[in-house]
């Protein structure tokens, strides 16, 4: 589908292309907010397990920092591999 | 995307951002609700009421979840949470 | 973002405010349907585990009732705490 | 929100409600499918067919899930399920 | 809601009905893409557990094929039961 | 739905399809990310860096996930993946 889709896109007049890129921008905003939400959920679930205090304890905070940093590095690596595979699929067929 | 047409697109962007923000808040609330239910509430359902232990666990869980949200917001956005 | 967002909102003409509140209403409907769906899933998963009968057994029904009631009470409590924290964040900065 | 303009908004609301209803049904179907797969189907995948035990479990699981849906609908909506 | 909804639908002019069916088509496309995504996730999670190789091993591939086929059969069965119950609910009240 | 009006609806369909495709890709990426994190990364978070074992596991995990995607695409679409 990729190529036909992109071909269609290039044949569109300027106004439509603006609309398209506005749409993509909206999707990206939504996606990064969702990513943020699910990162918080993951690190909270993995790092916070006792509820004797109302405030985050020192070792919980350390755990959350490492979790977030590790997840972001992981996510970037997946992104690179994913892009390579997408490119391979596009040139292949 | 700031230098297109002044009025019309800006309005659409305001609506779009407001919608995304609402969705974000709803999703955050749902995730807190589900996560803290899993962490605090006994799922054998022997009674209908939340007992004192569960209630205090819920309060602390929401508070800590909120702190994790700002902590990660700081890490991501170099100083300020996304919202 | 809150305050700039809300400021923008108040400066909008009547027609736009109506559109905005219609949008919020749509989001709320969708959200309550999703909440309903996920409440059913949770209580079903926690309470129903044997499939020797086609009909819900008495103790399963009791479990589902308690689960739903407990979840709703929990959800209301979380909502109160969440609102307090949101308010605190708004007045704080 | 019932007393705004008669024709145009009502039509938008009908479309909006129909869309929400479709989404709700699709999500319900997906949740039943996933939950009953977890409860009934052996996930070691030693064969391609569903055996008799799995098939009868699936039928009962769907039936019970449906009953839980109406039961909770009654609890929430004082007498009638949301849809 | 079913019946009032459907009644409203039939009273709509042709243009609106076209719009409605376009909307349903869009929802169906989105739904089948989501179903595809979650089927892949399930079968990957259940069948692939070692990462000594870059390529899918024979027994992993067999497992994925069976998983997908079993899931589709399951999904069709659930669809039939679901349709019966929906119909029952519509004629009942 | 191919024989309605030529220009206007086609354009809407192109936009609709492009949006669905974007959503699909984003969801696929998110699922790979979460699944491979669960399979490869130690969630005790003793350090901030991904070690060599984790890194190579991630690369293979993404590669295998991609293969499962095409394999199931072939099974579903009689020869070609949905996208």
Q: Which residues of B touch C79 (CB under 8 A)?
A: 29
What is the average per-residue pLDDT within A20-29?
Answer: 88
Cβ pair D82:C41 closer than 8 A: no
The domain defined by F7-42+50-76 folds into Helix Hairpins (1.10.287)
pLDDT confidence band for C67 (50 / 70 / 90):
very high
pLDDT for E6 beyond 70: no
What does the mean pLDDT of chain C come to?
Answer: 87
Best residue in A18, A24, A40 for a mutation probing chain B (most B CBs within 10 Å): A40
Chain F: residue whose CA lies nearest to A41: F34
Lowest mean pLDDT among C50-64, E59-73, F16-30: F16-30
pLDDT on residue A2: 42
pLDDT on residue F5: 52
Q: Residue B72 is nearest to which of A21, A49, A64, comparing CB atoms?
A: A64
Burial of A39 (0-12, 13-18, 19+ CB in 10 A): buried
pLDDT for D80 beyond 50: no
Share of chain C above pLDDT 90, in %: 60
Contact C10, C30 (CB under 8 A): no
pLDDT for E81 beyond 60: yes
DSSP category for residue E55: S
* DSSP H helical ranges for chain A: 2-10, 14-47, 58-92
What is the average per-residue pLDDT within E5-15?
Answer: 65
Name the architecture of domain B7-43+50-76.
Answer: Orthogonal Bundle (1.10)
pLDDT on residue B72: 97
Cβ pair B67:A25 closer than 8 A: no
pLDDT for E18 beyond 70: yes
Q: Which residues of F touch A18 (CB under 8 A)?
A: none
Structure tokens at C2: 């809150």
Q: Which chains sit next to D, with 3 or more Cβ pairs under 8 A?
A: C, E
What does the mean pLDDT of chain A come to?
Answer: 87
Looking at this predicted complex, what is its ipTM?
Answer: 0.86
pLDDT confidence band for E19 (50 / 70 / 90):
confident
Lowest mean pLDDT among B17-31, C15-29, C51-65, D24-38: C15-29
Count of domains observed in chain A: 1
String of b and e for B26-40 (b: at least 16 CB within 10 Å)? Answer: bbbbbbbbbbbbebb
pLDDT on residue F10: 73
Tokens 């609301």 belong to residue: D13
What is the average per-residue pLDDT within A19-36?
Answer: 89
**Contacts of D66 by beta carbon, 8 Å cutoff, 6+ apart:** D32, E85
Q: Residue A40 is nearest to which of B57, B59, B68, comparing CB atoms?
A: B68
pLDDT on residue C3: 43
Q: Residue A8 is nearest to which of F14, F37, F49, comparing CB atoms?
A: F14
pLDDT confidence band for E8 (50 / 70 / 90):
low
pLDDT for C35 beyond 90: yes
Structure tokens at B39: 């962490």
pLDDT on residue A8: 57
DSSP per-residue letters across E14-46:
HHHHHHHHHHHHHHHHHHHHHHHHHHHHHHHHH
pLDDT confidence band for A89 (50 / 70 / 90):
confident
pLDDT confidence band for C70 (50 / 70 / 90):
very high
pLDDT confidence band for C13 (50 / 70 / 90):
confident
Cβ pair D68:C48 closer than 8 A: yes
pLDDT for B82 beyond 70: no
Cβ pair B60:A34 closer than 8 A: no
pLDDT for D75 beyond 80: yes
Burial of E64 (0-12, 13-18, 19+ CB in 10 A): buried
pLDDT on residue B83: 44
pLDDT for A26 beyond 60: yes
Tell me how close the Cα of C54 comes to any Cα of chain B, in angstroms.
Answer: 22
pLDDT confidence band for D79 (50 / 70 / 90):
very low
pLDDT confidence band for D8 (50 / 70 / 90):
low
pLDDT on residue B15: 84
Residues of chain F falling short of pLDDT 70: 1-9, 78-83
Cβ pair A24:F22 closer than 8 A: yes
Name the architecture of domain D7-76.
Answer: Orthogonal Bundle (1.10)
Quote the domain boundaries for residue A86. Answer: 2-92
Share of chain B above pLDDT 90, in %: 67
What does the mean pLDDT of chain B come to?
Answer: 86
Greater pLDDT, E72 or E22: E72
């Amino acid at each position: 589908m990729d190529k036909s889709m992109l071909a269609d896109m290039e044949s569109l007049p300027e106004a439509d292309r603006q609309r398209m890129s506005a749409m993509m921008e909206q999707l990206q905003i939504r996606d990064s907010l969702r990513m943020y939400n699910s990162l918080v959920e993951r690190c909270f679930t993995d790092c916070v397990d006792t509820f004797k205090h109302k405030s985050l304890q020192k070792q919980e905070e350390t755990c959350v920092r490492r979790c977030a940093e590790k997840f972001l590095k992981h996510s970037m690596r997946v992104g690179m591999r994913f892009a390579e595979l997408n490119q391979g699929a596009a040139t292949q067929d | 995307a700031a230098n297109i047409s002044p009025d019309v697109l800006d309005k659409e962007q305001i609506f779009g951002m407001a919608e995304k923000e609402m969705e974000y808040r709803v999703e955050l609330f749902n995730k807190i609700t589900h996560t803290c239910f899993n962490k605090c509430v006994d799922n054998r359902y022997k009674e209908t009421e939340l007992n004192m232990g569960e209630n205090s666990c819920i309060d602390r869980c929401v508070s800590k979840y909120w702190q994790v949200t700002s902590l990660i917001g700081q890490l991501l956005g170099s100083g300020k949470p996304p919202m």
